Structure 1
Amino acid sequence: MHREKHSIEKIGWLRAAVLGANDGIVSTASLLLGVASANATHQTILLTGIAGLVAGAMSMAAGEYVSVSSQADTEKAALAEEQAELHADYPGEHRELTSIYVHRGLDLALAKQVAEKLMSHDALGAHARDELGISEITTARPLQAAWTSAMSFAVGAILPLLVAFMVSSDWAITAIALSTLISLAILGGIAAKTGGAPVLPGIIRITFWSTLAMGVSSGVGMLFGSLVN
């Protein structure tokens, strides 16, 4: 059997990976820039970055797991309800599926035939896909999302942290900001290309909002650094 591969099939892990890596780079870079702008020592900057990496990765994993688990629970409840409806009123569910196909453009006779064939093969699967919008592609996978988010966050966070480790405090702000924008532009392009979306809008979107986040963090660091000192 021939099965075409489409970019939409990657949406589950791609979303978690891009979100995690982007958050890792932006969060850690913004944190480092905020501390560096407050005239912190090089040791303090590095310690802050490491703490941000660990805390961010754990937070991403926990948040993604809880969020996607809630989605999975909702899907299970909807499928259980649909299964009960199939047991209670099979003909009514057949009419409901027929109506869906009619609204999609089939004539009534063909819609009835399609609904009958699909329900005889897998009644719950047919209603899950065509009535509830639940398919193999969109099914929630909490552990996969949590693991992908945590690992991608850590990988993203390492980039600005390595830059901060290699340069002195005098050059930290400039080096971290430039390297972060370059890595984010590359990430945005890869994510857009992998998902089959236009590359340039993806790059512009991710760099614009990331620049804003880093700018605000630096401003806050400078403000409170001057107040404390």
Structure 2
Amino acid sequence: MATPNGHLNISIGEDKHVVDDQEAQKIDYSQRSQWLRAALLGANDGLVSVASLMMGVGAMNQDVKAMFLIGFAGLVAGACSMAIGEFVSVYSQLDIEVAQMKREKRTREMDSEGRDETKKEKLPNPLQAALASALAFSMGAIVPLLAAAFIRNYKERLALVSAAVSLALLMFGVLGAVMGGTSPAISCVRVLFGGWMAMGITFGLTKLIGLSGLEM
């Protein structure tokens, strides 16, 4: 419909449609930061730490059984450590939030609206966080274990573990970048370099200790 000055008015329906499209395109990546960081940190930690353990043992012991057992022990120990650490951390956060809610309740009279808001407030779940952290760690740690489990040749086993870990690191880098709205290239280079450095340092130092005369 035209106005007296010759301009057209946009209908309410069309205006609402435009607003809805704009809102649909807006993604608040900051809301994903906590759970995304925890999941990727757990998986990346499991992948790199277990692979580094296996590479360290592989530097001095060519037996596939020894390499696999140390990797499995690292998986179990790491998953338990991650779960306990996350449980304690989130439980502390829960205690702080509950205490704050109690203080607020004592300082003001709760009306019906206030009670509804309190009931709807989502509190952290320590057990859920612990299980998620342990699962994420295990998913990362299983990659080098599977890569080494069926390869008898020593050099081929080390090469396959390195390749599998590198591929997994690239996947984690891309996943983190896509879900976080950042550059995939930068994310991949960062995680790949960090993983290689961890495995290289562990392998090199263990090899150095072995060459210094320490009997295994």
Identify the TM-score tier after normalising by the shorter chain: 0.7 to 0.9
Aligned position for 2:202 = 217
Deviations 1:147-202 (A, max 9, x none): 11111111111101111113222223222122212211111111221222322222
1:158 matched to 2:158? The reply is no
Q: Is the 8 A contact 2:36 2:176 kept in 1?
A: yes
Aligned position for 2:51 = 29
Aligned position for 1:58 = 80
Aligned position for 1:228 = 214
1:122 matched to 2:114? The reply is yes
The DSSP-based 3-state class of the residue aligned with 1:228 is: coil
Mapped to 2, the partners of 1:20 and 1:124 lie a distance apart of 35
Mapped to 2, the partners of 1:204 and 1:190 lie a distance apart of 13
- How far residue 40 of structure 1 moved from its aligned partner, in angstroms, is 4.0
Aligned position for 2:124 = 140
Q: Is the 8 A contact 1:65 1:142 kept in 2?
A: yes
What's the C-alpha RMSD, in Å, of the aligned pairs?
2.6
Q: Is the 8 A contact 2:59 2:206 kept in 1?
A: yes
Mapped to 2, the partners of 1:173 and 1:40 lie a distance apart of 10
Equivalent of residue 37 in structure 2, options 15, 29, 33: 15
- How far residue 125 of structure 1 moved from its aligned partner, in angstroms, is 4.8
Task: Count how many residue pairs are aligned between Structure 1 and Structure 2.
Answer: 188
Give the gaps of 5 or more residues in structure 1.
Answer: 91-118, 127-134
Mapped to 1, the partners of 2:108 and 2:60 lie a distance apart of 64
Q: Is the 8 A contact 1:46 1:164 kept in 2?
A: yes
Deviations 1:94-148 (A, max 9, x none): xxxxxxxxxxxxxxxxxxxxxxxxx87338959xxxxxxxx75xx5332221111
The DSSP-based 3-state class of the residue aligned with 1:78 is: helix
Give the gaps of 5 or more residues in structure 2.
Answer: 1-19
Q: Is the 8 A contact 2:170 2:188 kept in 1?
A: yes
- Residues 82-97 of structure 1: pairs in structure 2 closer than 5 A: 82-87=104-109
1:206 matched to 2:191? The reply is yes
- How far residue 13 of structure 1 moved from its aligned partner, in angstroms, is 3.0
Q: Is the 8 A contact 1:33 1:217 kept in 2?
A: yes
Larger C-alpha radius of gyration, 1 or 2?
2
TM-score by length of 2: 0.76
**Letter aligned with residue 154 of structure 2:** S
Higher-RCO chain (CA-CA 8 Å, sequence separation at least 6): 1
1:186 matched to 2:178? The reply is no
- How far residue 66 of structure 1 moved from its aligned partner, in angstroms, is 0.8
Q: Is the 8 A contact 1:82 1:124 kept in 2?
A: no
Mapped to 2, the partners of 1:197 and 1:141 lie a distance apart of 28
Percent of aligned pairs with the same amino acid: 38
Mapped to 2, the partners of 1:219 and 1:194 lie a distance apart of 35
Structure number having the greater helix percentage: 1
Mapped to 1, the partners of 2:214 and 2:88 lie a distance apart of 38
